[in-house]
Amino acid sequence: MSGVTVTYAGSTIHTQDEDGSFTLNTSGKYMQDNVIIAADDDIGSLELTYGGNIIATLEAGETKTLLTAGKMMTSDIYSELIMGAASPTRMYMTLTSDLEVSLVLRLDVANITLTVDWGDGIIETYTSGKNGACTINAHTYSAAGDYVIELSCDTGHTIKCDGFGTNIFNAKVGADKTNTYPQLTAFEFGTYYTFQGGTGGDFGHCTSLSSITIPNRENVIPSSCFINCTGLSTVVLPSQLTSINSQAFYGCIALPDNLLIYANTLDYDAYGNCTQLRKVWIRESVQTISVHYDSKNKVYRSPFYNCSNSLVIYCEADEKPAGWSEYFNLYGSTTDTTLTVIWGQKTQPW
């Protein structure tokens, strides 16, 4: 799965698939050693930026050393794939018994060819219909095990799915057809996949999904995108993030207890019910934080609704920006359930 390897102080700190786009969270950190980035032969050209400036380019098969030793970093390091061959979207599946799997996908327009490699030697092609809808014939695996499903389509077009936790896993097992689903453990966007942003959440309720890297071409995390992904422990976000929408990571209790937020807009319930959170650092780039008020039930829902009351919010800003709700730091449903806020935090607090 790795096309890029990043090492620091003799240890591998990051690996990346063929997409090549990632963020190294270096802002606010003192670097004791140089960062070394190596690209495999099958990766395209990478552009590395720091503080808004291009600091290096990396071609396939190259290794570059970034002279970071002895420096206090004021920004993250971003990698963007600027040229490369098309790579398929990959779904990594663990099947626990013989399963019939259905895919319900959508392409951007009609009359586009979609290729599905089921990972067991069977490859099928389909043509999208009206509004890009593409229903694939159910596929039956002959044995339990780990499989990789690869999806690709005509160049210049995109693949979407309104709910990998529902639409893909809607074919159940056994005579009674109850409660046995294949499990998505990892996902690679590749060249083709883009967020659908439907009401079901692209990956909502995929409880076995453990890690995901979101390419830089995606600048919004849609509502309910990862809702109740209780096994999700690693998320690499785009370097330039416009918005984290409502309930995007609601109930993601396996995420780290320290959270960096830099999206321009943070919506209500974005990290709701993430009870493991203990420290949040909100950067000055965050211009808007919204809170939803249910007037009927007189309930407030902030981005940290139902989080632990021991969560501390550190803010890089010296005072509350005009675009932040006055109730942005609520952990409960009433205005007296406030979290501790520390203003003027210019360096990462962990």
pLDDT per position as a tens digit, 79-95: 877 655 578 999 998 88
Q: What is the pLDDT confidence band of residue 173, given thresholds at 50, 70 and 90?
A: very low
- Report, as an integer, the average pLDDT of 91-109: 82
What mean pLDDT comes out for the span 250-276? 96
Q: What gap in Å lies between CA 144 and CA 186, rounded to an integer?
A: 17
Q: What percent of the chain is predicted at pLDDT more than 70?
A: 89
Q: Report the pLDDT averaged over residues 142-152.
A: 92
Q: What is the pLDDT of residue 19?
A: 58
The pLDDT of residue 312 is 98
The fold of 87-194 is: Jelly Rolls (2.60.120)
Q: What's the CA dihedral at 93, 119, 6, 263 to 10 degrees? A: -50
Among 90-104, 203-217, 331-345, name the one with the lowest average pLDDT.
90-104
Q: Which helix (H) or strand (E) holds 237?
A: none
**CA separation for the pair 149, 163 (Å, rounded):** 16
Q: Looking at residues 27-33, what average pLDDT do you find?
A: 92
Q: What is the DSSP code string of 15-72? A: EE-TT--EEE--TT-EESS-EEEEE-TT--EEEEEETTEEEEEE-TT-EEEE--TTEE
Beta bridge partners of 259: 280
Q: Is the pLDDT of residue 268 over 90?
A: yes
Q: Is the pLDDT of residue 121 over 50?
A: yes
pLDDT at residue number 43: 67
pLDDT at position 240 is 80
Domain locations along the chain: 4-83, 87-194, 202-350
**Res 180: pLDDT:** 41
pLDDT at res. 1: 40
pLDDT in tens, 283-303: 999 999 999 999 888 899 999
Higher pLDDT, 105 or 43: 105
pLDDT-derived band of residue 165, with 50, 70 and 90 as boundaries?
low
Mean pLDDT for all residues in the chain: 86
* pLDDT, tens digit (0-9, with 9 covering 90-100), for 203-245: 888 888 999 989 888 889 999 999 999 999 999 898 789 999 9
What was the pLDDT predicted at 82? 66
pLDDT at 260: 96
